[in-house]
């Protein structure tokens, strides 16, 4: 996990620079404070799924940030096959749409769960319980991040 965060950070900074945005500007678009944006770019923290979805709407190439591959690279593995048959494409479109619907639901549920876990961890004085809740919260964030990555990778297939 730590290695992946440090790889995402510089690419996130590169995208912010490409869009001619300050850290506070991209942070505001993503719904986070400037210090959180800096932590994402330095690799100190991993961005949450809701932040990633917001900055994607502002033009950030999430495929590049998350995988290191640009969306429009010619000959990319993610490019759709040129001679795919219509029936296969229709089936792929339906399966991708279903996957995306399910992943969006999963991301929302994970986000709600992390909020509830953070509240419970704040209310408890049991250090063992706090550590367990933090592990669950971290795992949920990792799963949400992987889900966002999967959405963007599979959206190139349809």
pLDDT score of 10: 93
| Range(s) of the domain holding residue 139 | 86-155
Q: Could you tell me the pTM of the whole model?
A: 0.49
Residues 96, 46 within the same domain? no
Domain-embedded: residue 142: yes
Is 62:152 a contact under the CB 8 Å cutoff? yes
pLDDT of 41 reads 92
Within-domain flag for 30: yes
Residue 3 has pLDDT above 50, yes or no: no
State the average pLDDT for the chain.
79
- Looking at the structure of the chain, the number of domains it has is 2
Confidence of residue 16 (pLDDT cuts 50, 70, 90): very high
pLDDT at 157: 67
81 within a domain of the structure (yes/no): no
What are the pLDDT digits (tens) for 109-155? 888 888 888 888 878 888 888 888 888 888 888 888 888 888 878 77
Residue 77 in any domain: the answer is no
The DSSP secondary structure of the chain, one letter per residue, reads: -HHHHHHHHHHHHHHHHHTT--HHHHHHHHT--HHHHHHHHHTSSPPPHHHHHHHHHTT--HHHHHHS--TT-TT-TTSPPTT--HHHHHHHHHHHHHHHHHHHHHHHHHHHHHHHHHHHHHH---HHHHHHHHHHHHHHHHHHHHHHHHHHHHHTT-
What is the arithmetic mean of pLDDT over 65-90?
60
Which of 37, 67, 97 is the C-terminal boundary of a domain?
Answer: 67
Asked if residue 125 is part of any domain, the answer here is: yes
């Amino acid at each position: 996990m730590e290695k992946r965060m440090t790889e995402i950070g510089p690419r996130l900074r590169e995208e912010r620079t490409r869009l001619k945005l300050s850290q506070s500007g991209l942070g505001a678009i993503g719904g986070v404070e400037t210090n959180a944006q800096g932590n994402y770019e330095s690799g100190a923290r991993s961005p949450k799924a809701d932040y990633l979805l917001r900055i994607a709407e502002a033009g950030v190439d999430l495929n590049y940030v998350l995988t290191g591959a640009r969306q429009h690279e010619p000959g990319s593995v993610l490019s759709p096959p040129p001679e795919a048959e219509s029936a296969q494409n229709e089936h792929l479109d339906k399966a991708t749409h279903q996957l995306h619907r399910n992943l969006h639901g999963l991301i929302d549920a994970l986000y709600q769960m992390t909020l509830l876990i953070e509240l419970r961890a704040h209310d408890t004085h049991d250090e063992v319980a706090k550590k367990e809740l933090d592990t669950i919260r971290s795992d949920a964030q990792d799963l949400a991040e992987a889900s966002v990555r999967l959405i963007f990778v599979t959206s190139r297939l349809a």
